[in-house]
Amino acid sequence: MHPQPGPNNSDAAPTADGHVPAQAQLSADAQQAPTPRKDEVAVLLIHGFTGSRTAMRPWAQALEQAGYHTQMVLLPGHETRWQDMVKVPYAHWIHATEQAFDELAARYRTVFVAGLSMGGALALHLATRREVAGLLLTNPGLVVDSPLAPYTKYLRWVVRSTSPISNDIALPGADEQAYPRTPVAAVAQLHRLFEQTRRRLPLITCPIILFRSASDNVVSDASVRALFDGLAPNSKIQRVDLPHSLHVATLDYDAPLIFERSAQFIAAHTPART
């Protein structure tokens, strides 16, 4: 399987369930695309490791503006303090995404899932256990690149935290509101999540669009290789390169490209009305 390269957001706060109101004007391309009714299509957005929904908010807003309902899940242990991640098993992250998906699937006919970084791994995992219409992945992680990763379950008792992995963004002033430290115990859980997700990749049958930054200081190309190597040979995956962005591309220079191509992808893979 071979990759196929492709070519101002409001600050509206989400409601209690993570819903983001639409405010801005549609781009010309989004206006030309067929727009399913909001009561038919929804998108679940999943943030990254030690990150927050801040990194997903512009993406959610753009999809709302294109005519889709969105919901941003808050993963356990996040958006409080980094110490709260220490005792959270990766199964709780999986459960949170499945619960959020099930709630959407009960109300909407078609549900897509978008993920950034670890959120991409959770989106992939979700697609092996639920009927996901399509996956939108921005720099998804599947490999913890440090050679110490397998030993973090022991190192956690010696080293409580390490330096942060936040704000790998080229755009000046952008801030994903991530934790100032990385808990080693949580890295051990991340490593286990990635291992399990890689094993389950052949089970994925839905279409995928992969947004990949030209330079990424958090997720290396090892994760991209793991994705393409792990998917079934007949998988439907398209790649869109982001030449001007770093890891948190949803807050970076190429964010408009992500938003535009996401709306097109969803429109193309939404089942026709009957």
Answer whether 255's CB lies under 8 Å from 63's CB.
no
Q: Which amino acid is at 30?
A: A
- 11 catalytic, yes or no? no
- Cα(196)–Cα(228) distance, rounded to whole angstroms? 16
Residue 112's beta-bridge partner residues? 43
Q: Among the options 52, 69, 117, 223, which is catalytic?
A: 117
Q: Are strands 182-183 and 237-242 parallel, antiparallel or unpaired?
A: unpaired
- Cα(7)–Cα(27) distance, rounded to whole angstroms? 17
Q: Among the options 125, 191, 216, 254, which is catalytic?
A: 216
Sequence-ordered list of residues with C-beta below 8 angstroms from that of 122, at least 6 positions apart, any chain? 46, 75, 93, 94, 97, 115, 193, 197
Q: How many residues does the chain have?
A: 274
- Cα(197)–Cα(135) distance, rounded to whole angstroms? 14
Q: Among the options 247, 252, 254, 269, which is catalytic?
A: 247
- Cα(44)–Cα(93) distance, rounded to whole angstroms? 14
Under DSSP, the state recorded for 149 is G
Sequence-ordered list of residues with C-beta below 8 angstroms from that of 192, at least 6 positions apart, any chain? 90
- 117 catalytic, yes or no? yes
- 235 catalytic, yes or no? no
Answer whether 140's CB lies under 8 Å from 218's CB.
no
Catalytic site residues?
Answer: 117, 216, 247
